[in-house]
Amino acid sequence: MMDIYIQRFLDHLSVERGLSENTIASYGRDLAQFAEFLDKRQIHESRQINEDVLIAFIDHLKKSNYASTSTARKISAVRGFVNFMCAEREIDKSPLTTFETGRPPQRLPKVLDLDELSRLLDAPDIHEDLGLRDKAMFETLYATGLRVSELINLKSDDVNTRMGFLRCIGKGDKERVVPLGEVAAEYITAYSDRVRGRLTGGDRSEYLFLTKNGQPMSRVMFWKIIQKYAAKAGIAKQITPHMLRHSFATHLIERGADLRSVQEMLGHASIATTQIYTHVSRDHLREIYKETHPRA
């Protein structure tokens, strides 16, 4: 059972976070070692993982005489896995709340600049059914900052294009209402009126965005779609679905949006999570200063 949980986490790292194959393989090896450790102790369910188990695992690593960097990497992998299982409601209470395992420094999120973003948003051919669907999905992501999992789980009834808002269920089953811009609303309406009915083939589906076979969109499918359009748009950097969410938040803050509002729209439980986008914004301002100030 633990192998299934680990594979779900590795899929999340690939699709949602866009980590490289080598990084994911490294996570896989470290978590396979953790799974072996759990198996020897007859721990087969995620809810059996508690603070005592994590302490025992770290003690096991220290006794194995791994280099400090290897130990830190293995602990980081386990921390990420446990946090993911908590978010997925497979662990009721995080065993990390009172136990510090040495969290690595938080990396700044990667974002698309306005030119790259425009090229990506304009890449789908809206005269084709799937192109219009893809355009509507991209515009919705950038307009709202939704997670990909939230986007693909949207129901038709969750979106009010006339009033300009949508309702989604985020982490921890928390519901939030997010403003929907006019451009995104326009393309959602066009997709719903012209395309969605043909994709369902007459069958009823509550989900808004569907595959060509009328099934709900999956995270893997969306990842493949955005990779295709990134290549078509000539975007050199490695692109992930989450980059639209990061770009949404960064561009808002660069243009003066207050942190609390961005936090609410993103669905962050803590404003500390949202604050990382202020660092990205400062880097952006620093670059502008260097490029434009005569004595920079």
242 is catalytic: yes
Selecting among 12, 133, 251, 268, the annotated active-site residue is 268
Q: What is the DSSP string of the chain?
A: -HHHHHHHHHHHHHHTS---HHHHHHHHHHHHHHHHHHHHTT--SGGG--HHHHHHHHHHHHHTT--HHHHHHHHHHHHHHHHHHHHTTSSSS-TTTT----PPPPPPPP---HHHHHHHHH-S-TTSHHHHHHHHHHHHHHHH---HHHHHT-BGGGEETTTTEEEEE-GGG-EEEEE--HHHHHHHHHHIIIIIHHHHTT----BSSB-TTSPBP-HHHHHHHHHHHHHHTT--S---THHHHHHHHHHHHHTT--HHHHHHHHT-SSHHHHTHHHHHHHHHHHHHHHHH-TT-
Catalytic position from the list 12, 196, 219, 245: 245
Give the Cα-Cα-Cα angle 79, 85, 91 (nearest 5 degrees). Answer: 105
**245 given a catalytic annotation:** yes
Among 265, 268, 115, CA closest to 181: 265
Q: How far is CA 177 from CA 42, 103, 133, 164, 208, in A?
A: 43, 32, 22, 10, 17
d(CA 230, CA 189): 24
- The one catalytic residue in 12, 135, 242, 251 is 242
Task: State yes or no: is 60 an active-site residue.
Answer: no
Active-site residue (options: 73, 119, 167, 171): 171
147, 196, 219, 251: the active-site residue: 147
171 among known catalytic residues: yes
Question: So which residues are the catalytic ones?
Answer: 147, 171, 242, 245, 268, 277
